[in-house]
Amino acid sequence: MAKILICDDEQEILDITKLILEDSGHHVLAVTDSLMVENLIEKEMPDMLLIDLWMPNLSGDQVIKEVRKNPNITHLPVIVISASKDVKEIAYASGADGFLEKPYDIDALLDIVEKHLMH
C-alpha cells in the first residue's frame, strides 16, 4: 500500500481520484490548495504526488519545480493530471515523471500509478 498525495483545485476530481486509489488499496491525502503541497510532502513523506497543472495561487509546474529543488524529496514520483493535453510538454519540462489527461480512464490512472510506484 502506497501513500499518495493528490492536489487538484476541482473538488470532484479530487474526490473521485481519491476514491479510486483508496479502492485499489492506497492511502490517499487530498488537498485543493497547491500552497500546502511541499510542506505536506515533507511532513507525510508520500510515495507519489498526483497534481493538476492549472491551479490558483501556485501552478502545478511551479510546485513540481520546488519539489525538484528540495534535496529531501527530489526522488518523489510526480504525475500531472490535466484536462489540457497541450501542457504535457510543460509538465515534463518542470520535472514530472508522467502525464495523464482528464477525463482519465480508471485503468489508465491505476496503470500510471503502479508503473511509477515500482521505480
Give dist(CA 88, CA 85) in Å, integer. 6
What's the number of domains the chain is made of?
Answer: 1
Bridge pairing between strands 3-7 and 27-31: parallel
Q: Is the pLDDT of residue 49 over 90?
A: yes
* Helix, strand, coil percentages for the chain (3-state, nearest 5): 45, 20, 35
Q: For the whole prediction, is pTM greater than 0.85?
A: yes
- pLDDT of 119 reads 67
Q: Is the pLDDT of residue 85 over 80?
A: no
First-to-last alpha carbon distance for the chain, in angstroms, is 15
Residue-wise DSSP of the chain = --EEEEE-S-HHHHHHHHHHHHHTT-EEEEES-GGGHHHHHHHH--SEEEE-SS-SSS-HHHHHHHHHH-TTTTT--EEEEES-GGGHHHHHHHT-SEEEESSPPHHHHHHHHHHHH--
Q: Which domain holds residue 57?
A: 3-117
Supply the CATH number for residue 79's domain.
Answer: 3.40.50.2300
| Average predicted confidence (pLDDT) for the chain | 94
